[in-house]
Structure 1
């Protein structure tokens, strides 16, 4: 399938024809949890001067695993203290039907994660997935951190930053087999699109226009979803409310900090669109500059 490239909001939404939610998920434990200084160079949500509690991070991560496992099969791979950002595997590993995709990470500390034989072997040897390795192509592409995918419609919304360039966006669109690719520049200080927006089961959209270099582009994407678009303000976005995920058709998983930041109107809009909120405390892990959605790698 050849991917069409379009500007934000210029093309009507395609009909939903593909599975909208993952059939399973996987996590990587925060063993030896620490803040990676390389990642902090372009992640303004991090503050490397803050101390972290590795045991508390592990406890919160176990609680996340238990919460997800109540709703869909969720497996967890052991972490490695040598790769402290490995708690966010969705940047490095992603799936489409029958395919495991390896991202081209910007920082060497993240590049090391893709060398793991256990995760790759699980998908290729146990599940029989084909491996698509994007590490050797020239574009930087941090998978479902940089690209928010409307899975049911096959649309990828890709935020360009130091973590993803146009060549990387095009490579991801081909690897995922997307119908359409929409690219936009993220606002200064934003590193991943999945911090500023999320498509929920191809039925609703949460989005913060201030996370876009041109807020009008964010508003145009939201307009395509009509009444199913839920606009976040900057305070909600900064609390990781946009880093939420619908792993089932009626439940949105969000961090406790993100849930606490939601205005009544935002909560009401989620409920109106048929979603119950499931909040998990992740404030220790959020010190590393990512939140709940970043911890979850979806299995399609």
Structure 2
């Protein structure tokens, strides 16, 4: 038995019935008040870019983008929990991307994850977030953590590296230093999901994709994927698995670089479907692809050019899905 396997705790969800709901109707968003270029994450994130603007100007622009996104989502009927916490001695430049350190389930579980970069681990504040979620009317029945894997330098950056088909209880994940296979399989076991589809990727540079959610997105009945970055022998298997009940919308590397893969289908309070994406992604989709996506929900395009250019993540990265049940239900 490996050290990683020895770290695993018995699954308390293995025999539990799991909800098959794909879209969250509530999201967590974190204000980019400490946002700037993160040199630590840039080591393996080829989507980040340095700019000549001062940190104060960058943060002002990022906050403007953030506020507009929050306002629009709320106006459309999506519940947004703005998680604002006091600044600490250690800056958290990527806190605007909260989906990398926590996840929730419809059964009321709240998980935290082992982050690869040291300064990103400062973002992990479960007690404060659980308090905020409770205040927002959501129920946290149980908390769990995979952070003990940091002891053996193994990482799993939540829904940054896991793109989940909740309907089919299947997790898709591109393996990298931010996505360890054994931690991935442990998480799947803990939430009772029976299938994990993990695969390798390669950018033109030869490096792997840093986060799966920049190359693919899964909705109820569609999947956007940059399949050309997956080796051919694995690509066929991934596409076959997705094609069982999903319309596949294939994007190019150029489109992926405009964050066409970093989109998220959500549900409004009235049960309508919306698909959140950046303006750069919207513009990079072909008219035919936009029409395909629009058949699955109203397209919401947000100008987050400062955040995605400097931070190397876009709209989907800014949205931490909340599947927790509403209090009293």
**Aligned match of 1:258 in 255, 275, 281?**
281
1:56 maps to: 61
TM-score, normalised relative to structure 1: 0.87
Is residue 100 of structure 1 aligned with residue 113 of structure 2? no
| Rounded Cα–Cα distance in structure 1 between residues aligned with 2:166 and 2:104 | 11
Query: Equivalents in 2 of 1:62, 1:215: separation in Å?
Result: 42
Count of residues in Structure 1 that have an aligned counterpart in Structure 2 = 285
2: CA distance between counterparts of 1:219 and 1:282? 34
Higher strand share: 1
2 CA distance for matches of 1:166 and 1:225? Answer: 20
CA RMSD of aligned residues (A): 2.3
Superposition deviation, residue 274 in structure 1: 2.9
SS in 1 for 2:122: helix
Q: Distance in 2 between matches of 1:252 and 1:2?
A: 32
C-alpha distance 29-43 of structure 1, shift in aligned 2 (>3 A): same
What are the residue-to-residue correspondences of 1:11-50 with 2, within 5 Å? 18-50=20-52
Unaligned runs of 5+ in 1: 4-15
The answer for the alignment partner of 2:4 in structure 1 is none
User: Which of residues 62, 84, 96 in structure 2 aligns to 1:78?
Assistant: 84
Q: Which residue of 2 aligns with 1:114?
A: 124
Structure 1 pair 2–216 and aligned structure 2 pair: CA distance change class (3 A): farther
Q: How does 1:1-300 map to 2 (within 5 A)?
A: 2=14, 18-51=20-53, 53-69=58-74, 70-78=76-84, 80=87, 82-97=91-106, 98-115=108-125, 117-123=127-133, 127-137=139-149, 138=152, 139-187=154-202, 188-200=207-219, 202-212=220-230, 214-226=231-243, 228-248=247-267, 250-271=273-294, 273-286=295-308, 287-300=310-323
In the TM superposition, what is the alpha-carbon distance from 1:118 to its structure 2 partner?
Answer: 1.2
Aligned partners of 2:192, 2:147: CA distance in 1, in Å? 18
1:75 Cα offset (Å): 1.1
Cα offset for 1:152?
1.7
Residue matched to 2:3: none
Report the alpha carbon displacement of residue 17 of structure 1 after superposing the two structures with TM. 6.4
The Cα of 1:154 is off from its aligned counterpart by 1.1
TM normalised by structure 2 equals: 0.80
Task: Specify every segment of 5 or more residues in structure 2 that has no aligned partner in the other structure, as ranges.
Answer: 1-12, 324-329
Q: Which protein shows a greater Rg?
A: 2
